[in-house]
Amino acid sequence: MRHGLQLLLLYLYSVQANLEGPFLFFGPKSLEKYKRPALKYLDQDELMRIYGEQAAIVVFNNQDSVPLSSGYFPRLRKMLERQSTLVLPQDFLDVHPDYISNETQVLTLQGPWSERDAQMTETFARLQDIYGTGRVLGILGNSVSQSQSADYIDGEPWARVRRQAQNESASSTTSPEDERPSKVMQKFALYNATGPPGKGALLYSSGWPELRRTNGTTIRLSTPVGEPTIKPTRLYTIMVVRFVDGDSRDKITLEFSFKQSGGWWTAVGVEVRFGLETTGISLKAPSPPDAPSAVLGKSYHCSLPLVYSSEDATLVLPDVQMQMFMDSTEKFADAFDCIGFTTVPIWSGIMVSFIMLVGLGISLTMIMEIKTMDRFENNRSKQLTITVSE
């Protein structure tokens, strides 16, 4: 009875936390066809297909980064021996299952290890009784940033292992961590978020976004993690981009909101979330007519900094180009530029030219009013007399 009450409370207390990897998918046999070599990620389309094939999905959000080889989850390990499993080494899921399947439950695992082990196995078994064996997908992740990969048990199909060569040859061996290609940090920001038809998005900035707090601190978001994703809602379409905050390794999530109305799309604002916060700092886009907007099918470009602001902070993106509600995100369409013809420098040039033209006109008028002599003296005529009026 006590366990049943705890499970019920956990169902009611489901949270949409920023789930982090590595991830363990288990359950249906269809997972076998998605197995990839070590360190190979699944893209957004493959994740959407996996979610769509299941009758129900349950996400277990563990609050501690404890590997399965630690011995804290004996019941789960025994249950996995009868299930198909798939390990994803990626840090984030490009598509959260809750966006695809309505039958998705997110359970936050808390309390002693034995209770967490029981919560996972009993919940998964109960869902299989409801929806049928092989029709429930379980996903295990955590909410703690992992600086090192977990050492799972060798020999298991879901294990990630650092193997060493057993021979004594002179050739050196490398671990999977050493084999990962180094990331080349570009000097610009380009976020490409694919989604359902008509929901794709592209956002480019010549520099990294900077979050400036009112207390004087500035955070330069130069380390993106995962892939940008699209989260459609009833009112807005949201582009989600995640970052790591420098050496602290804290996660920062930017959720750019856009709306569609009257054949135009418009940027509404951005919400900044830190770590596992469910609510963050809401920043508003510039007010119309300065708000980024364009006709559907066209992009927006502005060489001036784009500033999202509130009383607590501002987010600055230099030299931006963006486009929303795209069928294909291969390239930008023709752009609406924020700098029109009547800019301050152009008005200044026009006024200076007008003043010069007025001065030229006055000068020509004065020159035309100058009277020249039409009579001349000679030795056969009398002396000329010129009056003051002449």
98-128 pLDDT, tens digit each: 666 557 888 888 788 888 888 899 999 988 8
- pLDDT of the residue at 292: 93
240-296 pLDDT, tens digit each: 998 887 655 678 899 999 999 999 999 999 999 887 777 789 999 998 888 999 999
Q: Distance (Å, rounded) from C-alpha 57 to C-alpha 77?
A: 19
- pLDDT of the residue at 148: 36
Q: Does domain 189-337 have CATH number 1.10.3720.10?
A: no
Question: What secondary structure letter does DSSP report for 296?
Answer: T
27-84 pLDDT, tens digit each: 998 888 888 776 677 877 788 888 888 888 998 888 776 666 667 788 888 899 889 9
- Which tokens go with 219? 């955070």
Map out the domains of the chain as residue ranges: 2-142, 189-337
Considering only CA atoms, which of 242, 243, 233, 229 is closest in space to residue 201? 229
Q: Distance (Å, rounded) from C-alpha 337 to C-alpha 16?
A: 38
Per cent of the chain over pLDDT 70 is 75
Residue 383 banded pLDDT, cuts 50, 70, 90: confident
Q: Distance (Å, rounded) from C-alpha 294 to C-alpha 288?
A: 12
pTM of the model: 0.47
- pLDDT of the residue at 353: 96
